[in-house]
Amino acid sequence: MNELTINLQPKSEVPLYEQIYNYIKKDIQTKRIQSGEKLPSTRALSKYLEVSRSTVELAYEQLLSEGYVEAEPCRGYFAAQIDELYQLKPETRSMNDMPRRKEPQYLFDFTPNGVDLNSFPYNAWRKLSRECLLDDKAEMFRLGEPQGEYGLRCAICDYLHQARGVNCQPGQIIVGAGNDYLLMLLTTVIGREHKVALENPTYKQAYRLFKSLSYEVCTVDMDSKGMEIGKLEDSGADIAFVMPSHQYPLGIVMPIKRRMSLLKWADEKEGRYIIEDDYDSEFRYKGKPIPALQGYDSRGKVIYMGTFSKSIAPAIRMSYMVLPPPLLKCYQERSRFLSSTVSKVDQMILEKFLKEGYYERHLNKTRALYKNRHDILLGCLKSLLDRCEISGENAGVHLLLHFQNRMTEEELIRRAGEKGVKVYGLSEYFIEPQEKERATILLGYANMNEEKIEKAVQILDEAWRKK
């Protein structure tokens, strides 16, 4: 072969050498150039294509490195034998031919996981970000401490002691990018030889995570006070995952007597622990916030977990875990080599946010905002009280409607959806199938303003009337 007729496009964004490389590679793949066939010399091809020799050499070097051509000293370049290589045939079906699932459009969404992002303190966060970056310290961009920056851990420690009654030292705190990561990290500390019990219904993400990490997992039924200790004992579990300050999704607050019984259960056998998920304790509308279970623990049995996702914004991706002293020693021996998953710069911004009082002001503002929406929602729901009862309204950012009529959960969700309102059923939070009970709907109000709440409830009132 003395020449290759390649239609080069000098004005193309694709470099000339890459155009030559692509052309020859395609010809070799489609066997237009047979294996063993000699390619033009770099000098001859550059002269024929009227390009520099270095351009052709770059194309040949790329083909050589990928195995499409072989070079023989004093003889030149030859197409390589690729007949036996596995060929991936391109998918002929275009994306336009793929069936598309049409997602229903809703005017209003009562998601129980919502956060009001309009209340995010943009100006304060921008100011603190600028201050941190103006410091111009190379140290800021080095790999940080595995447990999180000490200054941030001190600020979290002070906040937890003051607001949640948590007794800990900065050395017990580990900062991570979300609770999922921290739970995975925890498995490296406690090992896999445990059986984990979760409340039923529960936060399904935690259940799925433990299952995917190959733990033996079970659920324990609840009564009006939380997880039933007798059934927990019968389950054979040695780790209990609970949300005592505001159970999700039922909104139950575990009373002091049940808390003491849970701590007693953990203390009765070596290796038993309680994981306390304190995910939204900041938002309580009746009385003071309930102190954390960890504050009552004097035997090192409670692993405390908290997050800034609900109180600031999900994208912050900043959570923390407080290890009891016995497990802290295990962490230092087994897991301290793992680097922190949170940017050092972000940690410094959050440290300033906590220490300079911005977080407290933001919480006060957000509490007032959610309290107002909470009150508006309760007021609007009075028109439905002939059909349902309300529970879980004293804390968090959602409440539950327990229906007394014979409508099923599926029917309630369908009727609301047909009117453009998305609501959520309690049944999706149960791990174990339940006997048919009265239908229960969750209504979250964090990301809906007062006007939307009023309009949406009017629609629900109409949708859920007997036909």
The amino acid at residue 406 is: R
Could you tell me if residue 197 is left (phi over 0), alpha (psi between -120 and 50 degrees) or otherwise beta?
A: beta
Q: Over range 131-153, report the average pLDDT.
A: 84
- Tell whether the model's pLDDT for residue 103 goes beyond 80: no
- Inter-residue contact 244 to 276 (CB < 8 Å): yes
- Inter-residue contact 44 to 2 (CB < 8 Å): yes
Largest Cα separation within the chain, whole Å, is 95
List, for residues 166-177, the tens digit of each pLDDT value.
Answer: 999 999 999 999
pLDDT band at 426 (very low <50, low <70, confident <90, very high): very high
- Tell whether the model's pLDDT for residue 73 goes beyond 80: yes
Task: Domain ranges for the chain, please list them.
Answer: 16-79, 108-114+362-463, 123-358
Tokens 């490195």 map to which residue? 65
List, for residues 27-65, the tens digit of each pLDDT value.
Answer: 888 888 888 899 999 898 888 888 899 998 999 999 999
pTM: 0.79
Considering only residues 285 and 380, tell me which one the structure prediction assigns the higher pLDDT. Answer: 380
- Tell whether the model's pLDDT for residue 445 goes beyond 90: yes
**Whole-angstrom distance, CA of residue 190 vs CA of residue 181:** 15
Which three-class secondary structure state does DSSP give residue 4?
A: coil
Radius of gyration of the chain (CA): 31
CATH number of 16-79: 1.10.10.10
- The percentage of the chain sitting over the pLDDT mark of 90, rounded to a whole number, equals 63
Convert 170-179 to b/e letters by CB count within 10 Å (16 or more is b).
bebbbbbbbb
List, for residues 187-210, the tens digit of each pLDDT value.
Answer: 999 998 999 999 999 999 999 999
Which alpha helices (DSSP H) does 160-219 contain, by range? 179-190, 204-212
pLDDT band at 302 (very low <50, low <70, confident <90, very high): very high
- Inter-residue contact 295 to 263 (CB < 8 Å): no
Among 198-212, 353-367, 425-439, where is mean pLDDT lowest?
425-439
- Tell whether the model's pLDDT for residue 409 goes beyond 70: yes
What pLDDT is attached to residue 232?
A: 97
Q: What's the topology of domain 108-114+362-463?
A: Aspartate Aminotransferase, domain 1 (3.90.1150)
- Inter-residue contact 459 to 232 (CB < 8 Å): no
Our measurement of the distance from residue 219's CA atom to the centroid of its chain's CA atoms, rounded to an integer in Å, reads 22
What pLDDT is attached to residue 346?
A: 92
**Whole-angstrom distance, CA of residue 439 vs CA of residue 380:** 20
- Tell whether the model's pLDDT for residue 136 goes beyond 70: no
What pLDDT is attached to residue 349?
A: 94
The amino acid at residue 29 is: Q
**Whole-angstrom distance, CA of residue 421 vs CA of residue 428:** 18
Assess if CATH 3.40.50.300 describes domain 123-358: no
- Tell whether the model's pLDDT for residue 289 goes beyond 90: no
pLDDT band at 108 (very low <50, low <70, confident <90, very high): very high
- Tell whether the model's pLDDT for residue 397 goes beyond 70: yes
